[in-house]
Structure 1
Amino acid sequence: MQALWRLGIVALATGVLATPAAGDERTYKNLPSEIPAHFAPTNAGFDFERRTLDIPMRDGVKLHTVILVPKGAKHAGMLLTRTPYGADGMGHRGDSPHLGPTLRGYDNPADIVVQDGYIRVIQDIRGKHGSEGDFVMNRPPVGHGNPTPIDESSDIYDTIDWLVKHVPESNGKVGIIGISYDGFEAMIATIRPHPALKVAVPINPMIDGWMGDDWFHRGAFRQQMIPYIYGMVNSRGSDIGWTSGYRDDYDLYLRGGSAGDIGRAYGMEALGFWRKILQHPAYDTFWSEQALDRIAAKEPMIVPTMLVHSLWDQEDNYGDMAVYRALAPRDPAHEKLWLVLGPWRHAKTWEKGNTIGAIDLGSDTGTTFRQEMLRPFLAQYLKDGAPKADIAPVNAFVTGENVWRKLDTWPSTSRGGGAPVMHRWYVQPDGGLGEAVPSSGADEYVSDPAKPVPYRVRPIQPWSHGVPDQTDSWPEWLVDDQRQFATRTDVLTYVSPVLDAPMGVSGEPLVHLLASTSGTDSDWVVKLIDVYPDDVEEKPSMGGYQLPVAMEIFRGRYREGYDKPMALTPDKPLDFRFPLPTVNHVFQPGHRVMVQIQSSWFPLYDRNPQTFVPNIFNAKPADYRKATQRIVRDGAGGTYLELPVTP
C-alpha cells in the first residue's frame, strides 16, 4: 500500500495521471460555477430597502448614490449627505436588518432618521469612490476660482432634482446635513439651491482652509494633515494608505525636514492638491476667492441653516463661526440662521457627549442637541404638518458651568442682553497675569527649531478623526493637561491670582502681543488656560489640571497682511494681533487664569525656520536657526489678552 502511495506521488509529479489519454471525452471540461452572474438579496426581515444607483449630472457624469427607504414610507422627507469618504460604507452595515444599526457611525444621525422616518440618501461626490468625474479638493463654486460651469452646488442641484422626481415615497422635501468635508457640502448647497432644498445643517464644516480650518492656521501649515491629503488625493477609493514606520510623529516630522521635504519623500508632487498647497503658502486669491464665508456673505439667504460649532474642534474650529459672523447681521429677524455651540471635539455630535477627555460635562450633551434642537429643527422643514420648532436663535453650552444657554445673538450676555465687555489682562512681572497695567520690562526665551515644543505629550499619535478609545486619544487633544509644557524653558507662563468670583468669557479673545525676535521670522503660540485648584474634592485626579480654553498660532511674517509675507526686523518689538478661537467658558472661584506663550507647536504645525525664506515648504536645513524671543511689557501698550467678559 505504501508503495502504491509513493507511486501516485511520482505520477502526479511527472504529469502521468494529470494527462488524459488521446480521445478521452473528459478532456479540459470544467465544473459549472456556483456563483450566479447576478444575485439580488431578498433582504428578508429588513425594516428598510436599500437602493444603489448612479444619478446623472448635467454634464453626463454619474454620481454613485445610496438610498435607504424605511419600509412603508409615504410622504417622507429626504435627508441627504454628500461625502468623499464612501457612500457604500456609510450606508451599509451587513450585520443588521434594521436601519438604525445600519446607519451608526461617522456622519449619520441614526436616531433621528429612524424616529422621524426620513429617507436617508448618501452620495459619493464627483471623482471619489463609486462616482465618475474628476476629484478636486473642496471644489470651489463657479466664478470663485472655478472657470467651469460645474461645481458642488450644481451637482447638489441635479441630485435633488432627480430625487424629487424618482423617489415616490418622498414628499418632495430635502434636507442636507454633514460634518467636516460633508459639512462643506452642506454649506455649499445653500448657494444657488434647488427649490426642494428646505433645510441645511453644516456641522464643523471646512470653510476657509488657510485662515483656520484644515490646512493652515493664520499662515502656519498643519503638517500632520499631510497623511490626510495623501490618502484623499492618491486614488479614487482612497485605498493607498500612509505608512511611516515611526511610533512617534514628533520623530517622523523632525527627521523629515521641511513639510515640503516630507511630501517629496512620499512622492506627493504627483498629487494635484499638494502642488497647490506648495504654490500658495500665503493667503492669496487662490484661498480668499474660495472662502465660503466670503462667498455666502454675497449670496441670497434662502435655505434655513443651522450652523453647529464644537468648542474644542481639533480640525475645523474657524469656518462655521466665520460664516455666522458673515450672515447673522443679515438675518435680524432670525428667520434663516441658527447657531449651536457644543462642548465637543470634531464630529462628536452623534455620540452621547457626557465627557471630553478628562472633563466631565455633567450631562448627555450630544443627545440633548440631537433631540431638543436638531430633531425639531429638521422636522419643521421636512415633515408634512410638523409644528414650528421652538428653538432659540443661538443655543450655547457654557463649559466650566455645564449648562445650555438660549440666546438671541452671539456673543451675548443673556437672551435680550448686550455683548460681553472686553477686559485687558496684562502679562505681569514674575509670571503674573491681571488687569493692572504693568511696569515696563520683558521676558525672554530661546526658541530652537531642532527642539520644538510638542503640542501634546509624547509619543504623539498620527492624525485621526476616528472615535477615541484607549489607544486613540488624538481627537480630544485640545483638552490635554498643559502642565507638561509649562515646565519647558522655551514656554513663558503667566498666571493670575485665585479668583474669588466666577468669570464668564464668551466670544473671541484677542491677542495683543508686543514681541521681538533675534531672527527674521517667528511663530507665536498663545494659550488661554483654566487652572483648577490643587484640591478638587469631587474628582481628585483633576487637581491642578490646566485646561486649555482657547489656543492659536500666528506666523509672524504675516503681521502686515496675510497676503504680504515680510521679514521681521531682528530685535525690534513689533505688534502681533490675532484672535483666539471662540470660547464660552466660566472660570470658577478657586480657579486661576493662565496664559502660555511659545514659538513652536510641533509636529501639528510645521517648524518656522526663524530665518525668513520666500516659501517655508522649501526651507533648507541651514535656514533653521535658534532665536531669542522677547515678550515685552510696556505699560498699557505692552502684551495683553482682551477677554470678552460676561457679567
Structure 2
Amino acid sequence: MKKHLFSTLLFLLVVCSCTSNKKSLIIEENENNYVKENYEKKEIKITMRDGIKLHATIYSPKDTSKKYPILLQRTPYSCRPYGKNKFKDKIGPNITLMKEGNIIVYEDVRGRWMSEGVYDNMRAYIPNKTEKQTDETTDTYDTIDWLVKNVSNNNGKVGTWGISYPGHYATMSTIDAHPALKAASPQACIGDFFFDDFHHNGAFLLSYFRAISLFGTYKDQPTNVAWYQFPEMKTQDQYQFFLDKGPIKNLNNYFKYSDTSIDKDDSKKLIDDFFWKEIIEHPNYDSVWESKGIIQHLNKVPSTVATMIVGGWFDAEDLYGPLETYKAIEKHQPENNNILVFGPWDHGGWSRDKVKNTVGNYYFGDSISLNFQKNIETKFFNHFLKNKETNSLLLPEAYVFDTGKKKWQSYDTWPPKNTNKQIFFLSDNQKLSTTPSSKSKAINFTSDVKKPVPYSEDIKTVFTPRKYMTDDQRFAARRPDVLVFETEVLNNDVTLVGDILAKLKVATTGTAADWIVKVIDVHPHDLEDDNDEMQKHLKLSNYHLMVRSEVMRGRFRNSFSKPEPFIPNKKTNVNIKLQDVFHTFKKGHKIQIQVQSTWFPLIDLNPQTFVNNIYKANKEDFKTQIHSVFTDSTIEYYISK
C-alpha cells in the first residue's frame, strides 16, 4: 500500500470541527469583486480532433511575474456568465486556491451551451478508438493539450475537479490522461446510472422527475440561453401528485415520448427528451447502461495522475460513485496516489461557505467544509501542481468523518483493515439479536399500493430531495407496513465501518416487490437540542437518525440484466448491499433496522405483479400484496476493533 506526501499539519488537528474558530474562515463581504480585480478573463473556442469547437472561459491572474498551474472544470451546467466583462463571483475549487493564484478554466462539454456538437448524457468511453473517434476522454485530452500550449504563464501542470456531473468529467480526465494532467479530484462523481442518481439497484428515482429534461433535450446550435424546460407540477405536494398520476406511463405527456397507449397527435405538443426515452425503453441493465458506466475503465488511470475522491456520507444523488471510483482505482492501480475524503455532507456540501455544518435537521459541527477547502483540498492541488511542501509527512490515504462521534479519523486504506465482521438476526419479537432464532418465522405486513410509505414526513416538490438522508424516522416506525427491529440500549459504543449487507429471506403473495432496508441510530430521550435550525416539531430527544438506507428492486435480486418474478408465497433470498458507513452508535443509543416495501415517491411504485417493463405497466397491474420477512434474515456489518 502506497503512502502520500501531503501536509505537515496533521489532519485530525486541523479539521476538528467542534473547536474551529468560526470567525477565522468567514468569507469577506467584498469577495464578489475579487475575481474581476485580480483576474483577466478570456472566452475562446478549442477545436477537438474531429473539428468540433468547444467553448472555454479562462481566468488568468493579472500578476504575470510567475507561472501558474491550470485548474480545469468541464461542465454541462455552463461557463456562465458569458461575456468578456462579466465575471463569476468565485472561481476554482475554493476561495483559498482562488486567492493563491491559479489559472482557472471552465469548459462547456460537447453539445452543451456555447459548445458545438451533440450531447450524450454520460457519454460512453470508447476503448481502442480510431484517430477521429471522440469521447469525453479525448475532448479532455485535446482541451488540456491546447491549454498548455497556448495559455500564457502556465507551468505545464494541470489539475481537474468537479462535483456531480463535473465530477464525472474529472474522472474521465484520468483515463488515457494527457501527460500534463498531474492531479484530479472527482467529487460526488457519477459512477453508473443504474446505481447512481436516477436509479438505485434498478429502481427508478421518481423524485428526480423534474431533472430529466435538464439532461435529456438537445439544442440545435450554441446558445447562452437555456433551451430545456422543467415539467410544471403545479403543486407542492409531490406525494399526492405522483399518487394521482398512477403508472409511470402517465408521465409521458410531460415528454415527447409515445407508445401505443399515447395518442400520436398529443405527443407532437410535448418535449422531445432522449433521456426519458432511454429510461423507458431500457428498464434492465443492458448494453446502454453498461456502456455509460465508468467504473469498469478505471484500470486505465496512469500512476502519473494523483486522485483525491471526495464524497458525503449523506449524498442522496451520488454516494455509490465516489466510493466505487476510489475502490476501483485501488484495485487496479494500488501504487497510485489515491486519496479518499468522506465527510458529513450532502451533495456537494463540502464546497459551501456555511460555518454551521448541518444535513437536513441534523448538526455535525462547525467549519467542517471550510477547513476541508483550506487544509485538505488546497494542499492536495498545491502539492501536485506547485510542488509545495516537499518535506511533508507521510500520512494515511483515507480521511473519513465518524458521523456518530462527529470526529475525523485517518486510515491507511478504506475500508480499514482492523475490523471484525458481525451479524444481527431479525427476531420475531422485533429485536435485533446476535443469536439466531431456534425456528424461522414469518413476520407479515400489507403493502398497499394506494397508501405507500412516504420517504419523509416533510415531502415537498423539490428539484432533487436531499434532507431525507438524515431525517427522523419515527414517522415510518409507527406505520404497520414498516417492520422495526432494534437492539437493547447499548452499554458501549459500537462503530460500524465499511459496507453493510442485508440478507433478507422474504416472500410475497404477488410476483414482484421492492425491498428497502434502513439503518437507524435511535437517540436517548434525555438529549438536549443542539441545532436551532431544526424544524420546530422535532427534538433531538429520541431522534431516529437514518444512517444508511437502500432499495433493491426484487426482480433484479439475481441479475440486473435478467429480471425474474417471485413465486407467490415461496421463501426467497434477497440481498441488499448498503453503501459504506462510518458511524459510532454511542453508549445509551440503540441500533434499529427498518424493513419496508415502498418508499414513495423517492422511488416509483412497484406494481407488485410482474410485468416485462414497469415503465409501461397499466393501472390494473398494481395490486396490494402481503409481504413476509423471515426471522433467519440477517444484517452483516463490520465494527472497528
TM-score, with normalisation over the residues of structure 2?
A: 0.86
Gapped regions of structure 2 (runs ≥ 5): 1-33, 220-225, 259-271, 531-537
* DSSP-derived class of the 2:401 partner: strand
* DSSP-derived class of the 2:292 partner: coil
* DSSP-derived class of the 1:172 partner: strand
* DSSP-derived class of the 2:452 partner: coil
C-alpha spacing 1:260/1:44, structure 2 compared with 1 (3 Å): closer
Superposed CA deviations along residues 514-572 of structure 1, whole A, max 9, x for unmatched, are 01010001000000000000110364920000001110000111122111100110011
Q: Is 1:575 the counterpart of 2:565 in the alignment?
A: no
Residue of structure 1 equivalent to 2:475 = 484
C-alpha spacing 1:159/1:386, structure 2 compared with 1 (3 Å): farther
C-alpha spacing 1:385/1:442, structure 2 compared with 1 (3 Å): closer
Q: Is 1:232 the counterpart of 2:233 in the alignment?
A: no
Matching residue within 188, 196, 200 for 1:217: 200
Does the CA contact (< 8 Å) of 1:380 and 1:386 recur in 2?
yes
Residue of structure 2 equivalent to 1:25 = none
Residue of structure 2 equivalent to 1:428 = 427
CA–CA distance in structure 1, aligned partners of residues 85 and 472 of structure 2: 37
Residue of structure 1 equivalent to 2:223 = none
Residue of structure 2 equivalent to 1:78 = 70
Number of aligned residue pairs: give it.
Answer: 577
C-alpha spacing 1:92/1:520, structure 2 compared with 1 (3 Å): farther
Cα distance, 1:243 vs structure 2? 1.0
Which amino acid letter does the alignment assign opposite residue 359 of structure 1?
Answer: Y
CA RMSD in angstroms comes to: 2.3
Superposed CA deviations along residues 39-96 of structure 1, whole A, max 9, x for unmatched, are xxxx9972211111111111111111111112114310111001111112499995xx
* DSSP-derived class of the 1:509 partner: strand
Residue of structure 1 equivalent to 2:230 = 241
C-alpha spacing 1:184/1:461, structure 2 compared with 1 (3 Å): same
CA–CA distance in structure 1, aligned partners of residues 82 and 476 of structure 2: 39
Q: Is 1:110 the counterpart of 2:109 in the alignment?
A: no
* DSSP-derived class of the 1:316 partner: coil
Residue of structure 2 equivalent to 1:208 = 192
C-alpha spacing 1:384/1:505, structure 2 compared with 1 (3 Å): closer
Q: Is 1:395 the counterpart of 2:399 in the alignment?
A: yes
CA–CA distance in structure 2, aligned partners of residues 133 and 601 of structure 1: 39
CA–CA distance in structure 2, aligned partners of residues 383 and 563 of structure 1: 46
Which amino acid letter does the alignment assign opposite residue 633 of structure 2?
Answer: T
C-alpha spacing 1:359/1:521, structure 2 compared with 1 (3 Å): same
Q: Map of 1:504-519 to 2, 5 A cutoff? A: 504-519=495-510
Does the CA contact (< 8 Å) of 2:529 and 2:539 recur in 1?
no
Residue of structure 2 equivalent to 1:253 = 242
* DSSP-derived class of the 2:210 partner: helix
CA–CA distance in structure 1, aligned partners of residues 432 and 388 of structure 2: 56
C-alpha spacing 1:226/1:202, structure 2 compared with 1 (3 Å): same
* DSSP-derived class of the 1:528 partner: strand
Cα distance, 1:231 vs structure 2? 2.4
Superposed CA deviations along residues 386-440 of structure 1, whole A, max 9, x for unmatched, are 526645311111111111111101111xxxxx34211111111221112122233
Residue of structure 2 equivalent to 1:521 = 512
Residue of structure 2 equivalent to 1:555 = 553
Identity level (%): 34
Q: Map of 1:189-588 to 2, 5 A cutoff? A: 189-210=173-194, 212-236=195-219, 237-268=226-257, 270-297=272-299, 300-333=302-335, 335-351=336-352, 352=354, 354-384=357-387, 386-387=389-390, 390=393, 391-412=395-416, 418-439=417-438, 440-464=440-464, 474-537=465-528, 539=530, 541-588=539-586
TM-score, with normalisation over the residues of structure 1?
A: 0.85
Cα distance, 1:599 vs structure 2? 0.4
CA–CA distance in structure 1, aligned partners of residues 131 and 517 of structure 2: 40
Residue of structure 2 equivalent to 1:20 = none
Deviates more, 1:614-623 or 1:354-363: 354-363
Deviates more, 1:201-210 or 1:370-379: 370-379
CA–CA distance in structure 2, aligned partners of residues 280 and 389 of structure 1: 50
* DSSP-derived class of the 1:155 partner: helix
> Which gives a bigger RCO, structure 1 or 2 (Cα 8 Å, sep 6+)?
2
Does the CA contact (< 8 Å) of 2:396 and 2:413 recur in 1?
no
Does the CA contact (< 8 Å) of 2:499 and 2:581 recur in 1?
yes
Gapped regions of structure 1 (runs ≥ 5): 1-42, 413-417, 465-473
Deviates more, 1:118-127 or 1:427-436: 427-436
Does the CA contact (< 8 Å) of 2:239 and 2:601 recur in 1?
yes
C-alpha spacing 1:44/1:324, structure 2 compared with 1 (3 Å): closer
Which amino acid letter does the alignment assign opposite residue 76 of structure 2?
Answer: P
Q: Is 1:646 the counterpart of 2:640 in the alignment?
A: yes
Cα distance, 1:462 vs structure 2? 2.3
Deviates more, 1:114-123 or 1:432-441: 432-441
Cα distance, 1:302 vs structure 2? 4.0
* DSSP-derived class of the 1:158 partner: helix
CA–CA distance in structure 1, aligned partners of residues 511 and 82 of structure 2: 48
Does the CA contact (< 8 Å) of 1:380 and 1:389 recur in 2?
no
Which amino acid letter does the alignment assign opposite residue 280 of structure 2?
Answer: L
Residue of structure 2 equivalent to 1:7 = none
CA–CA distance in structure 2, aligned partners of residues 562 and 144 of structure 1: 27
Which amino acid letter does the alignment assign opposite residue 635 of structure 2?
Answer: L
Cα distance, 1:230 vs structure 2? 1.2
Which amino acid letter does the alignment assign opposite residue 499 of structure 1?
Answer: L
Structure with higher Rg: it is 1
* DSSP-derived class of the 1:561 partner: coil
